[in-house]
């Protein structure tokens, strides 16, 4: 009997090695196998239609936000901050502050995140602006941080939309965001309801010059 059990375990192990096995599940679905970075880049889209039947846990959002802490920033100032809406009340409130078109686009997304950066950090040294860009470096660093977020999200099978149309004053009041933080974007997080269209990209020759 012990020999038969050992043989069964050996066969099961070989099957797992050949086909890939995972105990992790999300919404009753077996987690997909790891994807390459090139696949993440190729499949990421700005998604404007979400599957309302699927949810995302706080632990999963935390994993994505931990990834943003690996993003580079000016002198490691790490100016980016995030305000996460997950309750139905907060999600509805944020959705009402991104414009009617965006509100329709993000219907069904289970998470909405407000992205900000602390002013006077990136682009400054001892309180003095170091070049003409100034706080633009804070926006730059926040963009890098957001890029890490959306790429990590896609690697986990999630989808996102970065929205610049938003009522910053109302968002500041809703989340009690300090005045020293510049509100940049609202990011939706969820699962695509269908396959979004791939937009055309400019040719490399149009955007790059080699010297």
What was the pLDDT predicted at 21? 43
Q: Give, rounded to a whole angstrom, the gap between the first and last alpha carbons of the chain.
A: 73
What CATH number matches the domain at 35-194, 3.40.50.10860, 3.40.109.10, 3.30.70.250, 3.20.20.70? 3.40.109.10
Window from 34-38, 57-61, 80-84, 121-125 with minimum mean pLDDT: 34-38
- State the pairing for strand pair 124-125/181-190: unpaired
d(C-alpha 188, C-alpha 38), whole Å? 23
What was the pLDDT predicted at 2? 41
Q: What 3-state class would DSSP assign to 144?
A: helix
- 92-102 pLDDT, tens digit per residue, is 999 999 999 99
What is the number of H-type helices and E-type strands within the chain?
8, 8
Q: Give the model's confidence band at 8: pLDDT under 50 very low, under 70 low, under 90 confident, else very high.
A: very low
Domain boundaries, the chain: 35-194
d(C-alpha 56, C-alpha 34), whole Å? 18
Mean pLDDT of all residues belonging to the chain: 88
Give me the mean pLDDT over the 126-142 stretch.
Answer: 97
Selected residue with higher pLDDT from 198 and 71: 71
- pLDDT at 59 > cutoff 50: yes
Q: What's the CA angle centered on 196, arms 193 and 202, to 5 degrees?
A: 160
Q: Is the pTM of this model over 0.75?
A: yes
């Amino acid at each position: 009997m012990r020999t038969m059990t050992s043989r069964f375990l050996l066969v099961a192990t070989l099957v797992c090695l050949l086909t890939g096995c995972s105990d992790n599940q999300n919404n009753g679905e077996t987690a997909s196998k790891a994807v390459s970075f090139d696949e993440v880049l190729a499949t990421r889209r700005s998604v404007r239609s979400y599957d309302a039947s699927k949810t995302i846990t706080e632990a999963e959002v935390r994993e994505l936000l931990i990834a943003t802490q690996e993003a580079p920033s000016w002198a490691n100032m790490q100016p980016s901050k995030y305000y996460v809406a997950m309750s139905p009340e907060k999600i509805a409130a944020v959705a009402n502050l991104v414009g009617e078109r965006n509100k329709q686009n993000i219907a069904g997304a289970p998470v909405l995140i407000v992205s900000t950066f602390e002013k006077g950090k990136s682009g400054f040294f001892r309180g003095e602006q170091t070049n003409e860009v100034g706080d633009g470096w804070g926006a730059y660093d926040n963009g890098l941080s957001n890029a890490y977020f959306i790429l990590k999200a896609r690697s986990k099978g999630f989808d996102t939309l970065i929205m610049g149309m938003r009522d910053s004053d109302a968002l500041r009041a809703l989340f009690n965001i300090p005045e020293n933080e510049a509100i940049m974007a609202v990011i939706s997080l969820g699962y695509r309801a269908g396959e979004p269209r791939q937009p055309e990209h400019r040719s490399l020759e149009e955007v790059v010059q080699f010297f």
